[in-house]
Amino acid sequence: MPLVFVATPLGNLRDVTLRGLDVLRDAELIVAEDTRVARKLLRALDLPAREIWSYREQNAQRATAGILERAREALVAVTTDAGMPGISDPGSELIAAARAQGVAVEVLPGGTAATGVAVLSGFPLRRFTFEGFPPRTGAARRERFKRSLQPDTTTIWYESPQRVRATLADLAEVAPNARVFLVREYTKVHEEQLTGTPQDVAAQLTEPVRGEVAFAIAPHEALAAPPRRAATSEAIDALLEDGHRVGEVAKLLAARGFGERQQLYARVTERKARRKTSIKKR
């Protein structure tokens, strides 16, 4: 019997496919990221209860052998909490193991937020990449954006609601003029679509940010050379004279493309000290 991967609705239950319903109805075993979510889905779709096993990153190695053993004699459906199993969720390792052991695998076509948001963005899709979740730390995120942004490629990302503001701020430091399309709660009742520069999108987000977040970045030219040192000094002086604090100046200049915030913070601190010394000498 085959091991069948079944995409599950992202938010709207009516997005389930007819073949997906057939497999979920006929399967003797359902493999799920979270068994509670799978049981809730079966009830919502008015499907009979089934034996459900957990398969997630933390137990994937231990669970694989048992899943493949069952798939040799019975129909086994593999699902995830929402979307296509294997996309930013466990699954690819299970397929590789199944092939290595001669277990047939089928993947039923179905929705995933990455492709839906890519199309909805309206950005060119002759070439696009799915980057998954950005790194958790600011420096690593900025470096990832620098490597990923290309003049002929749209990039698609997922992010948690808790980190999306910080991620947009880091993107603004790397590419302040990038075109961003962000969707919150895709396919759900309270779906929200936002577009603009990283700063524009961050300003439109409601607080607190709730729900799943996915965003696309349009093809973006290579980063321009940073402004010359004299121009940076002039910008620092102007903001200090306006009464901004050191941290505020560094943040504002980073958003304008003058460099990374940490380096600018040191530069602003140095510049402020020199200004004080210059004033005293007068």
Other CB atoms within 10 A of residue 73 CB:
9
> What's the pLDDT at 221?
65
What's the pLDDT at 279? 59
103 and 117 belong to one structural domain:
no
**How far apart are the C-alpha atoms of 246 and 230, rounded to whole Å?**
18
For residue 275, what pLDDT is reported?
Answer: 74
pLDDT (mean) for 184-208: 94
Do 252 and 213 reside in the same domain of the chain?
no
Minimal CA–CA distance to 142: which of 112, 107, 178? 178
Residue 223 lies in a domain: no
Q: Is 69 part of a structural domain of the chain?
A: yes
pTM of the full structure: 0.75
In a shared domain, residues 194 and 103: no
pLDDT at residue number 277: 67
Q: Is 31 helix (H, G, I), strand (E, B) or coil?
A: strand
Helices (H), 177-260: 198-204, 229-241, 246-255
Indicate whether 13 belongs to any domain: yes
Note whether 120 and 204 are same-domain residues.
yes
Residue 226 confidence (pLDDT): 57
Say yes or no: 87 and 156 in one domain.
no
Q: Could you tell me if 94 and 121 lie in one domain?
A: no
Q: Which long-range contacts link 69-73 to residues 24+ away (Cβ below 8 Å)?
A: 70/28, 70/29, 71/1, 71/2, 71/3, 71/98, 71/103, 72/1, 72/103, 73/1
pLDDT digits (tens, 9 = 90+) for 51-108: 999 999 899 889 999 999 999 999 999 999 999 999 988 889 999 999 999 999 999 9
- Does some domain include residue 222? no
The rounded distance, in Å, linking the Cα atoms of 43 and 275 is 69
pLDDT at 228: 64
* Residue 156 counted as domain residue: yes
pLDDT tens string 13-46? 999 999 999 999 999 999 999 999 999 999 999 9
Closest CA to 50 of 18, 74, 84, 83: 74
Q: What is the C-alpha to C-alpha distance for residues 5 and 198, in angstroms, rounded to an integer?
A: 36
Domain that holds residue 36: 3-107
Residue 213 sits in the same domain as residue 233: no
Q: 235-240: long-range contacts (C-beta < 8 A, 24 or more apart)?
A: 236/267, 236/268, 236/271, 236/272, 237/271, 237/275, 240/268, 240/271, 240/272, 240/275
pLDDT at 34: 94
Count other Cβ atoms within 10 Å, centred on residue 259: 16
Distance CA 99, CA 95 (A): 6
Tell me: do 97 and 131 sit in the same domain: no
Same domain, 124 and 181: yes
- Residue 239 domain-assigned (yes or no): yes
Verify cis geometry, omega within 30 degrees of 0, for the bond prior to 9. Answer: no
CATH number at residue 86: 3.40.1010.10
**For residue 273, with 0-12 CB atoms within 10 Å meaning exposed, 13-18 middle and 19 or more buried, which class applies?**
exposed
Looking at 107, 140, 164, the residue that finishes a domain is 107
Task: Tell me the pLDDT band of 130, cut-offs 50, 70 and 90.
Answer: very high
Asked, for residue 70, whether it belongs to a domain, the answer is: yes
CA-based nearest residue to 84, from 112, 57, 56: 112
Q: How confident is the model at residue 258 (pLDDT cuts 50, 70, 90)?
A: confident
Do residues 203 and 244 share a domain? Answer: no
Q: How many domains does the chain have?
A: 3
Same domain, residue pair 164 and 92: no
Give a yes or no: residue 192 inside a domain.
yes
- The SS3 of residue 27 is coil
The CATH number of the domain where 164 resides is what? Answer: 3.30.950.10
154 and 201 assigned to the same domain:
yes
